[in-house]
Structure 1
Amino acid sequence: MIHTIKKAITLFSLVIFGSAILYNCEPDPDNLGEQLFLDGAAQGNEKSFDITAFNINNNDTIRTDASKLTYGVLGAFNEGQFGMQKASYLTQLRLSSYNPDFGTNAQVDSVVLVIKPRFASDSVTTNTVDDNYTYTTFADGTVNAKKVVNTYPVLKFGKAKRTFNIRVNEVDEFLKGVSDSAKSNAAYPATTLLGTKEFKGSVSSVAITKDDGERHCLQLQHRESEFHWIKHFSRIRLLQKRAA
């Protein structure tokens, strides 16, 4: 019993002694750094210096062929210090299979370049409906139709409402094979200007439906610089605009 009381007294003494040491280790508060927080206390002079900026080419290269580059960048960006920065890409036509059959004496009369930018599908900016259309089918004859156009903003950065011109030039050199890797520092001189198109920063989907809206009969898609059929039904023979 006496031994237990001695142990308790010793432990209690150690606790009190340790608490006294910790209390004495805490420094007294002072005003060090107070001048940095008081209004008007920090005094100093401001000076402005002109900076000369340069674009430095470190010969950095990345692999830019289709097997590695999922999305390309197209456009221009003007920065006050670094100047105009332009982004473009090269592409070439590859057939899905060798030795295709185009029929007898086939001649190419036109080539359509399709550019499909990424866009916000959940952000419709405009919705236009034109009821002045008819279409003719074998089963129903002439039926009133309407054209519905939905416009969406493309995903881009910078001044979103500015327009720019897309220029398409011809490149005479072969851009390597499917299994070959292409680097960003490869230079391919552009020759003939094939065409230009003003891009306003939006894409549009066009659908032709029966005027009662029961079913779709024709669906088109227009993405600023492309004009092509997406889908058509064989039952439709004629689509025309009704006279006013």
Structure 2
Amino acid sequence: MKKTFKALKFTSFLLFTILAIVACDQDFTSIESDVIGLKNFNTGSYPIPITSYNKKLDSLKINNLNASLLGVFNDPIYGQTTASIITQVTPSIFNPNFGTNPIIDSVVLTIPYFNKIISTDADGNSVYSISDSLFGDSPIKLSIYQNNYFLRDFDPNEDLNVIQNYYSNASGTINTTDNFAVTANGVINFDSQKGALIYENDSLVPSSNAIVLKTIAADGTETTERKVPALRDTLNSAFWKSLIIDKTNDPVLSNSNNFYNYFRGLYFKAEAVNNDGNMILLDIAGSGSNITIYYSSDSSVEGTDKLNGSYVLNFSGNKLNTFINNYNLVSLENGDKTNGDEKLYLKGSEGSMAVVDIFSGNVDCDGVEETAIECFKKEYRAVDENGNYILKNGSFVLKKLINEAQLIVYEDETMTVPSDDYHKYDRIYAYDVKNNIPLIDYSYDPSSSSSNAFNSKLIHLGQRITDENGISRYKIRITEHLNNILLKDSTNTKLGLVLSTNVNYVSSSSILNSKDLVTGVPSASIITPRGTILYGSNVNVPNDKRMSLEIYFTESTQN
């Protein structure tokens, strides 16, 4: 039988055995009963025609992500990205009683960096690393302003209880100094909505050192407390006295709605220093992030010391991560959906992604022109004496079993990067474009690690592999995704590829008013500033570097 998909026989049965083991037991237990003649089989492989092309991204949902970027990152391939934060703050206690004649001793801002423990010191204390969350090591300027723009909880243009979303506007078409967001109602300029300056640091460089706090009790006893690395500094006490302490018994401190309307939050504005900087991933949504007002007040007992207290404001309200992109090295554009692109540009924040159509166009199927997906079904599904596909218990019966399906993606080795291992820790995240969810292979992959995202989902999403010639590639396993097409008639044939530094983060961020098949992206791609370039599927790409999709199958030999 002559087909465009021509079987290539394995040279080693051992290779099939290894692939079957890697493919996990689920592949066989879920499909075995619906394959004809499984006890008598051959093995083989063939490629599937695919088309991959670029998709330029804009207007991405940027509110209430699980982490926030802050700083300036100079990508050696694309150019500069600046990330700032607008956030509400929420009192931990309403209707506070600060006592008589309260005086602020200090106001401390604490926002932990994402970190990991790498060792212990001679005293048994944890030694931390923030290298996975820090991009660059030059100083930035950080200014914190009062934000005067009200961040709504609900969208007034929608039905009751529909959340108000805010979207990125990073292209710099208005200007390249201010931070913007957009909604269905228009563009918001947060620089035009900023109030008092309450903090400024002209040379901020994040440190991986633990925060060491020492306190001395009234009897002279000293205690030491160690906390994880964090953005930690004192803020202007006079501002917070006027804002909080002086409002004792005022309704603005009685509930969250009143407070959000009274004090609309903070604007963390990052700026480059000498056109350079660093960018850090902040755990601003975590329980350890807060502003703490330390105060003292008169004791009710005459002649005794003052009473000490603290008042905590958390970052538990709305949060936005805004971006300014100055891509002066690469111009991002939408790609060629018909012929595919030679190179694929994957860039985080508001950048670019790739779309992979795994059954693109028509093929020669037994001498008849047929769509690629229909020819694929004919190749794998069993038919009855009338030539109709056999349906059993809601699934189609197969004559061939897919043991392994891999999308092979090569990295552009001509990229200008500062070192050979610059892209060592990059991960490629594949998702279902139609439904904006991870592929089914994601949930089948048992290699999860909640504490180490780089070593999580290794079977499905793999890791960057570099051979002895310096050529790097990624292998994305989509076995169950293809089986779902065969067994259940799934129509999800388009995959999205984005760059990610945290494949454990599976939430999706929508695109405002998308008029394309891509209506959202994995949120994990927004909270990384990094970028890379891959080879696409265009015929001008050399065969040994062209993106490909290979299937390894088991075939019945019974008549």
TM-score, structure 2 as length reference: 0.22
**Bigger share in strand:** 2
TM-score (norm 1): 0.45
Greater Rg over alpha carbons, structure: 1
